[in-house]
Chain A
Amino acid sequence: MSATAASPPRPGPPHPEPGGPGPGPGAPAGPAPAGERSRSAVRSLLRLWPFVRPVRARLFTAAFVAILASCLGLVIPLILKWIVDGPIAARDTGGVWLGGALLLAVGVLEAALFGLRRWLVARPLAGVEASMRAALFRHLQRLPVAFHDRWASGQLLSRATGDLHLIRIFLAFPLTFLLVNGTTIVVGFAVLLSQEWTLGLVLLAPVAPLVVFCSLFETKFSLQARRAQDQIGDLTTVVEEAVLGIRIIKGFGRHRSQARAFRELSRRLLGTELRKARLLAGIWAVITALPELAIGAALVWGTVQVADGELSAGTLVAFLTTALALRWPVESIGFLIAMSNESATAADRYFEVLDEPVPPDVLATERTSPAPRGEAGDVRDGLRLTGVVFRHPDTPPEAPPVLDGVDLHIRSGETMALVGATGSGKTTLTALIPRLHEVTSGRITLDGRDIAAMSREELRSLVAVAFEEATLFSASVRENVLMGAVESTVEDSAGGPAGGPAQEDLARALRVAQAEEFTAALPQGLDTQVGEQGLSLSGGQRQRLALARAVVGRPRFLVLDDPLSALDVRTEALVEAALREVLAGTTALVVAHRPSTVLLADRVALLSRGRIAAVGTHAELLRSSAEYRHLMSGEQYERHERYEEER
């Protein structure tokens, strides 16, 4: 029987399009009109509420405490005034003591309140940051592989660290201090105006221009800051490539051209940074000079009034001290708003990822399967792909799909090799079976059950995979291999040598992968830490451990993507011999590049132009398919190289 089921491709299960392309990672968010931006900034920040809610009581208390503390600061000048106009004017040394005591009390209270505020929010806000990070991690782990293909891990990391850090800072400072400083300014000017309104007006004069200058500056500065950020990103790319591609740069002696690119980008960055500095210098000059001028004017005008006897000396002193105390709140407003805007951007970046929908676990309800459905365990239909079409979610719709109607049946217990030219979609096809990618249409059944109707958890407990790129995690060799065992949990893989069946399975898996010898020779044997933080293994060693991981759980279905590519001839032969035993007991799909790997399989499927072009034994296909012969022996077909003639 031919493996290709004759049924026509059916419309697949309703496939959720993972939300439009959206602003991709690193797409610069263009500056929006100021009004709209501030509205959307508020909206972005409001979305933080669910995370902040659990700590709201403390946060509000802290804000109240901060307002209290800040207003206490305004009382100090009033006490000064009372001292100057009261006991000093009256030469009452006893009264001075009272004033001093008052000052001390207010000072101590102010410090205590500020401390209380920080103490109130420190751990809760760190907790908010951590819970947001945990939520992001949980979400990311469940997002489809297609999402991760689009997003570099660095981009995700910067959201989990830098952006969340900014958000915590926002909750701790700008949010509170916009409120606190606003209140302080209002109260402060009320105090000033109530004491002597003319002087108060003089001091109030620079507030409006200051706020205008600050917001003008903020718009210009953020533009330059973003440009600098982008240029730093470009520079980082050049550095990264210069480091990652060092062997090529050295191998071809291309230092100069790379260095030129680097120099040019650095120069450009320098230019931007200096422009930034000019803007900064300007706003600092205004912030320094304007209030000073106002205070100077108030001083002159106040002196005249004191001389005229219309104003007490104490009031003037109080005035000037209050004005000094108000400088920071006024100056800070612009920066607090800038920080809030930055935090809003950070929140957007965070939610951009968190809003990415997790596709539903079960995509379709069970449909009647081609094989008669009796007792589920009895159905031994094997692995069946019917009219499977796959198109990368982010490719334009007019582009041809990677897989365009694949029909393939792997009988229960059979091993099928999958052969195809480079880039024909073999790896993509293997990713569809554990649903790392979802089929665009068509369906895949395991023993008659539609995989779209299973939970991913269940499906993946049935199917084990060894990937072409063997990834090890920062854990012991034992943990890395036992990851593939069905019932393995953190506890039993972390708790040292697990006894009984796990131990046996582990030994068997390592034997199959010919990994016993080298793992035993590691410094701590199976407990040696490997992965990014541990001992680094060669490509061949990693591949063997990944193979062991795939077979350790005795899976019903096994998918191996070119599992022996990095092994040398001798090891390859040994692994093949041991692997045959395992393959005899499972239904397996093995991507193969070479005859030696193909020979592990009972039959071979040739993938060509998005479809299965032929199925048969190695010998059959060698006879019947020119393309297969080409792939297996390099023999020419169709085209001839014209290079020689052209030269």
Chain B
Amino acid sequence: MTATVTEPSSGDGDARGPLDARTAAGPEPAGPSGPSGPAKESGPPGAPDAFDRDVLPAPKGASLRLLGSLLRPLRPRVAVAALLLLLQQAAVQAGPLLVAYAIDRAVPALRGGDGGPLAAVAAGYAVCALSSGGLQYAFVRAAARVNQSVLLELRGRIYRHAQVLSVDFHDRYTSGRLISRATTDVEALRELLDEGLQELLGVILSVVYICSVLLWLDLGLGGAALLSFVPLLLIVRNFRRRSMRVYRRKSTATAAMIVKFVETMNGIRPVQAFRRERAGEAEFGRLNDRHLRFNGDAILEMARYVVSSRLVANTALAAIVLWGAYRVASGSLELGVLAAAAMYLRRLYDPIDRLGMFLNSYQGAAASLEKIAGLLAQAPGVPEPEHPRRLPPPSGGRPGRAVVFEGVRFAYRTGGEVLPRFDLEIPAGQTVAVVGSTGAGKSTLAKLLARFYDPTAGRVLLDGADLRELATPELRRGVVMVTQEAFLFSGTVADNIAIGRPEASREEIERAARAIGAHDFIAALPEGYDTDVRKRGGRISAGQRQLVAFARALLADPAVLILDEATSSLDIPGERAVQRAMDTVLRGRTAVVIAHRLSTVEIADRVLVMEAGRVVEDGSPAELVAGDGRFAGLHRAWRDSLA
């Protein structure tokens, strides 16, 4: 099981993951402003960024519209549930009415020897009791069906949307936030739907019923009960306002505390190695105290609400009963009516405490819904084609495909240009190394080719076909990208390699692993290829993970392979194995290799040196080394380092 944070007071969950919204920059999907460049080293983004906050800009009323769109397909079910609740409350609230009837009618009738009214009371009560139970059963099930369908759909939408959004969005929004949208925020909504909403509806309905019955029984008593709602509503409003303030302060305090906690636990090595325990404790103590104070404030706010509402309710009860009793004594009201009124009043004021709790969970859920709506309002940056076309069959019997950047330009919507307009042709089967300092635009070039981004102008062609016109499966048969971060999915090592080609046999998987030199370490794991990477004993180092990622790419056997700093965690033998594999298994494929180590460059047919978004040198490694350009300088430095 994974680490699900179960902080019940919803809305605190944003700290589940890294909070940095600027992990990497990329093109702006919809936000009003963007960072100054993709170069992480090029300095900080200047303008405040929408991605720093959890709530993404969304059109006004997006939350409500989202809720509406979730409920619309369920309209018949919602109607049935509402009807059931209506009937159920009617059955429940009939009880005191029967008491009044029994005292005022059945008793005199019985004294007169007529058992009819009493029989009616008995039958009525039995019917009400049984039907209220039955209706309750039906309602809870109907409501659960609606609630769970809404949650299912919502989870699915978040998941699907997250998959559709561009890689760049993920870079900027950060995984922690996205995960907390799909978990904590959905959980907050679940709490509201499960516990809050049906209760609120029940409370509202019972208030309406009770007030109408009281009015019907006696206009005066009913009017008085209605009047008592004026101060009650004022108290509720006041509570809402005050608790919202406290609540917000509290969730900020919680978030700060959680961040400190997670950061310390994740960084326990440096914490202990640099003896930061005491300093960390002092800092955590401060945050914990602040949380304690606001937590106490929140609890006291609730107490204040409960006391004042109870005070009003009890006063109203006393006053109404007094008035009723006075009238019974003076003969203008029947005793049974008074008894029924007393019982109804007790029921009327009972759920007020729970209303406070509901309001709290409502606030959390509303905030969560707003965050989710903001996420779902993001337009995907890389849309699927409407009329996908197919790639032509590979020409000339070679497995590689030709890549053409045709008048491509890439810039942020806000104007920061990363790649000025350029043309580039990579013939089928060529291995191209791209070098340059951090921030020169190498990764952007690679991501354009992998269609993680779309160019601002111009087009990227694969054997003459615009990448934008290819459906995802078609595109991924053509282009595969291996990145620096080698993430392993839960499952076995074999499963992880098979992501490259799910239908591959075990033999093919092992062959790919052997080709990249990963077979030995995999075979040495407790259960070999069947070792679960998340279980104990499945300790896999960064270098080994990267080898698995390569095996994946070998298995996928793409026409174009992109390696984006994919060898950074490998030691020299690992790097060599990759080079050998490219020379053998991947021979004939088109390859684009980005590396800050020049060893990889040796196998390239061609080197592109990039600077500030432009290709400044282009030629075979031998040519460039022989020249006196930047590459020659870099190469000399590298040669020296090998000594």
Contact = CB atoms under 8 A, between A and B. Distances in A.
B590 to A, nearest CB: 16
A401 interface: no
B263 interface: yes
A320 B343 contact: yes
8 contacts: A137-B264, A163-B6, A239-B179, A253-B476, A277-B141, A303-B121, A464-B273, A643-B514
B585 A647 contact: yes
A118 to B, nearest CB: 3
Contacts of B23: 536
Given A538-B438, A573-B641, A111 B19 contact: no
A254 B20 CA distance: 27
B269 A431 contact: yes
A146 B99 CA distance: 69
Contacts of A394: 536
A537 interface: yes
Interface residues of B, number: 193
A324 interface: yes
B584 to A, nearest CB: 5
Interface in A94-129: 95-97, 99-100, 103-104, 106-108, 110-112, 114-115, 118-119, 122-123, 125-127, 129
B456 interface: no
Contact of B537 (A119, A251, A295, A395): A395
Interface in B55-105: 92, 95, 98-99, 102-103
B355 interface: no
B130 interface: yes
A316 B128 CA distance: 20
Contacts of A239: 159, 162, 179, 182-183
Contacts of B276: 483
Interface in B113-168: 118, 121-122, 125-126, 128-130, 132-134, 136-141, 143-145, 148-149, 152, 155-156, 159-160, 162-163, 167
B480 A252 contact: yes
B272 A245 contact: no
Given A252-B499, A285-B136, A490-B279, A292 B183 contact: no
Contact of A281 (B140, B266, B580): B140
B422 interface: no
Interface residues of A, number: 194
- Residue from B5, B130, B338 having most chain A Cβ neighbours under 10 A: B5
B326 A96 contact: yes
B515 A114 contact: no
Given A434-B273, A532-B19, A596-B642, A153 B262 contact: yes
A235 interface: yes
Given A158-B7, A250-B452, A320-B99, 6 more contacts: A115-B303, A152-B2, A262-B156, A316-B103, A317-B342, A392-B539
A127 B292 contact: yes
B131 to A, nearest CB: 9
Given A165-B9, A285-B133, A471-B270, A252 B476 contact: yes
B261 A137 contact: yes
A513 B300 CA distance: 52
Q: Chain B binding site: helix, strand, loop or mixed by DSSP?
A: helix
A284 B202 CA distance: 14
B219 interface: no
B507 to A, nearest CB: 9
A398 to B, nearest CB: 11
A521 B577 CA distance: 39
Contacts of A127: 292, 296
B310 A114 contact: yes
Interface in B284-341: 284-285, 288-289, 291-292, 295-296, 299-300, 302-304, 306-307, 310-311, 313-315, 317-319, 321-322, 325-326, 328-331, 335, 338-339
B1 A599 contact: no
Interface stretch (A82-90, A375-383, A500-508): A82-90
A528 B44 contact: yes
Contact of A91 (B329, B480, B552, B575): B329
A300 to B, nearest CB: 5
B140 A280 contact: yes
Contacts, number: 558
Contacts of A471: 266-267, 269-270
Interface string A565-606: 111111011000000000000000000011110010000000
B283 to A, nearest CB: 7
Contacts of B263: 473-474, 531-532
B248 interface: no
Nearest to B635: A569
Given A154-B16, A300-B121, A596-B641, A292 B322 contact: no
B178 interface: yes
Interface string A493-524: 00000000000000000000000001001110
Contacts of B110: 303-304, 307
A286 interface: yes
A47 interface: no
A26 B304 CA distance: 39
Given A471-B270, A537-B40, A643 B511 contact: yes
B643 interface: yes
Contact of B329 (A80, A88, A288, A463): A88
A137 B1 contact: no
B321 A91 contact: no
A118 B299 contact: yes
A103 B269 contact: no
A234 B285 CA distance: 33
B278 to A, nearest CB: 8
A423 interface: yes
B572 A118 contact: no
B281 A141 contact: yes
A80 B342 contact: yes
Contacts of A230: 1
A570 B541 contact: no
A241 interface: yes
A86 to B, nearest CB: 10
B152 A266 contact: yes
A587 to B, nearest CB: 16
Contact of A155 (B3, B569, B642): B3
Interface in A450-484: 456-457, 460-461, 463-465, 467-468, 471, 473-474, 483-484
Nearest to B88: A288
Contacts of A535: 20, 22, 44
Nearest to B335: A313
Interface in A114-162: 114-115, 118-119, 122-123, 125-127, 129-130, 133-134, 137-138, 140-142, 145, 148, 150, 152-158, 160-162
Contacts of B310: 110-111, 114-115
A148 B133 contact: no
Contact of A566 (B568, B634, B642): B568
A540 B484 CA distance: 13
B598 interface: yes
A482 to B, nearest CB: 10
B315 A633 contact: no
B283 A593 contact: no
A134 B5 contact: no
Interface stretch (B227-235, B358-366, B399-407, B485-493): B485-493
Contact of B155 (A115, A130, A266): A266
B550 to A, nearest CB: 12
Given A157-B5, A299-B98, A641 B274 contact: no
A292 B167 contact: no
Contacts of B111: 307
A395 to B, nearest CB: 7
Contacts of A534: 20
A474 B133 contact: no
B588 interface: no
Contact of A118 (B20, B187, B303): B303
Contacts of B271: 141
A631 B122 contact: no
Interface stretch (B252-260, B607-615, B617-625): B252-260
